[in-house]
Structure 1
Amino acid sequence: MSSGASGGGRSRRRLATEIKDSLRELSNQLAMLNRQVGSHLALKDVDLDCLELIGRHGPMSPSEVARRAGLHPATMTGVLDRLQRGGWVVRERDPDGPDRRAVTVRAVRDRSGEVFHLYAGMNSSMDDLLADYSVAELEVLVDFLRRTATAGHTATADLAN
């Protein structure tokens, strides 16, 4: 941490509290947005979360999706069944898998436009908001958000153990 990072006492604590409060509000707002998107697509929150993971990280085994989502494998089976019935994912035999029963799950690319369309308003708002920041400020935001995500991952893992 830089020497300036430790100064400011009361002001620093106030700003730190404001950041934490804003992150909680952001979390709530994004959860509400995701619920609305899921509702438009007839997907449960957990289904949308798993679809996002599969779409972002590419084809993976059901156990890998469960691990990334923090779900029990039995729960994952139900999620994947619903996503497959809805035409959102396909399960395919993994020719490189450890045995012939190995399966990978991949998102159906033809359906991704439906999801992107529902997030278009938020993405447009984010583009407008980010246009007001310099490259140096954006680098600080990227660093902060990555470190915040890592802290969240660590906290989640700690609670799971």
Structure 2
Amino acid sequence: MREKSRHGIIKRRLRDLRNQLSVLNRQIGARVDLKEIDHDCLDLIVRDGPLSPKTLAEKAKLHPATMTGVLDRLERAGWATRRRVETDRRAVLVTPESEKVGRVGSLYAGMNARLDQICAMYSDAELEVIAKFLDEVSVAAANAANDLQ
């Protein structure tokens, strides 16, 4: 019974974390006038880009037509740019506009400083276990989302 109870506690904590990160992201999005879906896609572009619109749609699990709308909004607002690839004029890559993206990053400074303080409380070995756990949770969430498609 104790093991199931611990599992329940972890699941509850992950849900609490998701909710708190969602609140943080919504508040930051409101400050910079980014819709949640646009904010998520911009994060993917910043972390993994430059990306083709097709690759971005796949990563975000969005229909290509939906992605076109997202990219139109991001480009219109100056968050990202679609550029043709010099070697293949048919190919397009989406790149972030670093000046505007830097503003979003600065709004996360408080959270990042708190994360640094939390990480400093753990050994490298403990952080490796935590990182492995989070990686596995991320894969599990991706698999669960794929199951729903």
TM-score by length of 2: 0.96
SS at match of 2:82: strand
CA RMSD of aligned residues (A): 1.0
**2:113 paired residue number:** 124
Deviations 1:99-122 (A, max 9, x none): x33211111122222011111111
For 1:153, which of 142, 145, 149 is the aligned residue? Answer: 142
SS at match of 1:60: coil
For 1:135, which of 116, 124, 127 is the aligned residue? Answer: 124
Alignment of 1:12-23 (within 5 A): 12-23=3-14
Task: Give unmatched runs, 5+ long, in structure 1.
Answer: 1-9
**1:53 paired residue number:** 44
Structure 2 CA distance, aligned partners of 1:110 and 1:42? 15
Q: Does 1:107 align with 2:102?
A: no
SS at match of 1:91: strand
- Stretch deviating more after TM superposition (111-120 or 138-147): 111-120
Amino acid at match of 1:22: R
TM-score by length of 1: 0.89
Structure 2 CA distance, aligned partners of 1:27 and 1:96? 41
Amino acid at match of 1:57: D
1:12 positional shift: 1.3
1:127 positional shift: 0.9
Count of residues in Structure 1 that have an aligned counterpart in Structure 2: 149
SS at match of 2:58: helix
Structure 1 CA distance, aligned partners of 2:123 and 2:3? 23
Alignment of 1:10-49 (within 5 A): 10-49=1-40
Structure 1 CA distance, aligned partners of 2:118 and 2:128? 15
- Give the 4+ runs in structure 1 shifted more than 3 A: none
